[in-house]
Amino acid sequence: MDHGLPPRARIAGLGHHLPPRVVTNDDLAQLMDTSDEWIRERTGIRERRFVDDGTSCTDLAEAASRKALENAGWEPDDVEFILFATLSPDLFFPGNGARLQHQLGLGPIGALDLRTQCTGFVYALSVADALIRAGQYRRILVVGAEVQSRGLRMDDDGRDTAVLFGDGAGAACVEASDDERGFLAHSLHSDGANALDLCVRKPGSLQVPFVSAEDIAAGDTAPHMNGREVFRNAVRRFPEAIQEVLTATGTPASELKLLVPHQANARITEAVRRRMELPEEKVASNIERYGNTTAASIPIALSEAVEEGRVERGDLVCLAAFGAGFTWGATLLRY
Ligand code: COA
């Protein structure tokens, strides 16, 4: 690059895709002891999307990626590397990155899966930025996609988690920047002391075999969550991560055009908004319509915000996430 600025990466285009089937809180109340009122009051969720039979997590990612490629004005062959964040891959292994490479009809480019759950997309953007700054690649496709619905326990014993999650995908085309737009700072964290507070225990290599009929009957293949511990940590870690990237760049929170938090729970988002002293219009929220789509939630919310004109080229945007691991982090970027 010869513009005199240090090399950095920027978002060239965005896309998102939600499966068409809407599942309302009342639909879930037919399957388990819950209610629309309880779910809305505790989480802010009214409905979410679930895939139909035959649609895979990679299919959702492919649809979001094709929209992002079009939005960026890239041909598929422009993609030099794939970063795929998901906790719900099609297979235990291999990861979805290679499957997406194949479904997009790309050459044998590199593909890396990231397993940092709700923080996956923030981690993936940071890796893309680093690879581009290092000069290894110029154009990277970054995807967050989830099919949660097939892993949830749709009965009374699973009601604390089943009502939270939904399916969807979002993608970003990330390219070497030749102007002042791009990623300004990242903060990435983890604390495995809380690994079992939000996890899927089976299948896993801690046991022989990875998964058994008893595990399935016991509900161990569904998410297990200590909701209060997740909540307590989330409302602390989100603001910490956001403040880190603001402080690193000397940016007052008031200069943000939009904060795009991972959509975990409307109450968590509201607590973070108050802590950062941001007005409601500066904080993205679509959890009412999609629930928590884990690694997909940030790219879906950012892509929607751009479509709606809430974010324009050159605006300062902060992305922030907290989730299983525990992992948390934030990215500050000039869109
Ligand atoms: N419908 C109705 N009742 C439910 C329910 C549901 N879907 N899920 C749980 N309950 C019940 C509980 O069994 C409990 O009953 P009890 O008092 O008889 O034991 C009661 O509701 C209250 O449970 P509690 O855990 O105190 O509720 P809460 O106010 O903490 O809200 C969460 C529960 C899950 C909404 C909340 O803890 C939360 O949002 N945690 C963070 C979750 C999250 O964001 N996870 C993803 C992170 S990326």
Predicted model pTM: 0.97
Residue 196, SS3 per DSSP: helix
Residue 170 CA to residue 189 CA, distance in Å, equals 22
292 is an active site residue: yes
3 is an active site residue: no
Catalytic residue among 16, 25, 118, 318: 118
Residue 207's contacts (CB-CB under 8 Å, 6 or more residues apart) are none
Residue 234, SS3 per DSSP: helix
Maximum distance among all Cα pairs of the chain, rounded to whole angstroms: 62
C-alpha of residue 227 to centroid of ligand 1, in Å? 6
57 is an active site residue: no
C-alpha of residue 32 to centroid of ligand 1, in Å? 14
Which residue, chain included where needed, has tokens 């030099």? 80
| Residue range 166-199, pLDDT digits in tens | 999 999 999 999 899 999 999 999 999 999 999 9
Supply the mean pLDDT for the chain: 96
Residue having the nearest C-alpha atom to atom 14 of ligand 1: 160
| 2 has pLDDT over 80 | no
Instruction: For residue 1, name the pLDDT band (cuts at 50, 70, 90).
Output: very low
Residue having the nearest C-alpha atom to atom 21 of ligand 1: 160
Instruction: For residue 7, name the pLDDT band (cuts at 50, 70, 90).
Output: confident
| 4 has pLDDT over 60 | no
Residue having the nearest C-alpha atom to atom 26 of ligand 1: 228
| Residue range 68-107, pLDDT digits in tens | 999 999 999 999 999 999 999 999 999 999 999 999 999 9
Ligand 1 contacts (CB < 6 A) are 34, 38, 42-43, 118, 159-160, 163-164, 225, 227-228, 230-231, 264-265, 268, 292, 323
Directed axis angle between helix 57-72 and helix 297-307, to 10°?
A: 30
Alpha-carbon distances, residue 114 vs 82, 97, 124, 226 (angstroms): 11, 9, 7, 23
Domains of the chain and CATH, by start: 8-179 (3.40.47.10), 183-334 (3.40.47.10)
Looking at residue 5, its pLDDT comes to 52
* DSSP states along 97-145: HHHHHHHTT--S-EEEEE--GGGHHHHHHHHHHHHHHTTS-SEEEEEEE
